[in-house]
């Protein structure tokens, strides 16, 4: 019988962390081997599965080394600075990493790429299988609607999200811009106020909504003359991100060093 894939989870007491703990506990081929959280977390020392009403035997710890000891893969949905600190320890101990954290700077992305020369890293702004299928649809739509259509990206998330636009919205913009032969850094418009003048048709607009407990809504609008095409994805549960993360962890378990994305995991060319 094949041994279960040993997985450590960063931010184990957070909303996404708990969803990941639950997903791992329900997967026959996975085993929770470590649970990490910040030194100031009130959950330190507690069993990572206590919120489920059962024990996993894994206590939440702030110690990176002990938290990943015995793990094959770390799943990390935390903050950029924390993720980079985790990756440095993963690299030292040969542990692969699935990164769902967003908000990285270009310099931080370069640092991640350097770590990927030594360990397997799967990084994506959204782990949902559905979102990644939408990204392929956007590429096709942008190539077909390359003239006469204004492109706007609207995203909504819960009040606790700290970065804007979302990593998923930015990825959607990058996919569309690349399909159109544009550079998102030079054509993106992130806010409009006052007398802005007519819309520049070469731009890609972003609108951000923050409120309540919205898990994640994204719509890309192609507005032409006499018609609108909208490609949308709405998340009703973080479970979709957790299941995608486990799929990515299984993918990394059979790979060596390298930087991968969800297209690699899903086999989408």
Instruction: Please list the active-site residues.
Output: 157, 161
CB 71 within 8 A of CB 33: yes
Which residues of 64-211 form beta strands (DSSP E)? 73-76, 96-99, 120-123, 150-157, 188-189, 204-210
Helix axes 106-115, 80-93, angle to 10 degrees: 10
Cα gap 192→211, rounded to integer Å: 20
Burial of 90 (0-12, 13-18, 19+ CB in 10 A): buried
Helix H or strand E segment including 130: helix 129-144
Q: Which structure tokens are listed for 102?
A: 């967003």
What's the half-sphere exposure (Cβ side, CA atoms, 13 Å) at 9? 30
For 230, the enclosing helix (H) or strand (E) is strand 228-235
Q: Which of 162, 141, 15, 161 is nearest to 153 (CA)?
A: 141
């Amino acid at each position: 019988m094949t041994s279960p894939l040993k997985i450590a989870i960063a931010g184990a007491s957070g909303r996404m962390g708990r969803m990941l703990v639950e997903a791992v506990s329900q997967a026959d081929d996975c085993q929770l081997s470590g649970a990490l959280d910040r030194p100031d977390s009130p959950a330190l020392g507690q069993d990572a599965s206590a919120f489920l009403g059962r024990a996993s035997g894994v206590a939440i710890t702030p110690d990176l080394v002990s938290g990943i000891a015995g793990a094959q893969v770390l799943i990390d949905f935390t903050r950029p600075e924390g993720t980079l600190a985790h990756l440095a320890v993963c690299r030292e101990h040969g542990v692969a990493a699935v990164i769902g954290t967003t908000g990285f700077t270009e310099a931080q992305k370069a640092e991640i790429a350097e770590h990927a020369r030594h360990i397997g890293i799967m990084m994506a702004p959204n782990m949902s299988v559905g979102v990644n299928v939408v990204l392929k649809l956007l590429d096709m739509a942008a190539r077909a609607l390359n003239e006469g259509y204004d492109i706007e990206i609207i995203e909504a998330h819960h009040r606790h999200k700290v970065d804007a636009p979302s990593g998923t919205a930015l990825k959607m913009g990058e996919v569309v811009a690349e399909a159109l032969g544009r550079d998102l850094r030079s054509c993106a418009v992130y806010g409009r106020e006052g007398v802005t003048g007519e819309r520049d048709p070469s731009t890609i607009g972003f609108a951000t909504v923050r409120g309540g407990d919205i898990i994640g809504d994204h719509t890309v609008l192609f507005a032409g003359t006499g018609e609108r095409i909208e490609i949308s994805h709405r998340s009703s549960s973080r479970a979709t991100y957790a299941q995608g993360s486990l799929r990515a962890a299984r993918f990394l378990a059979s790979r060596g060093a390298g930087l991968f994305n969800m297209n690699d995991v899903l086999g989408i060319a």
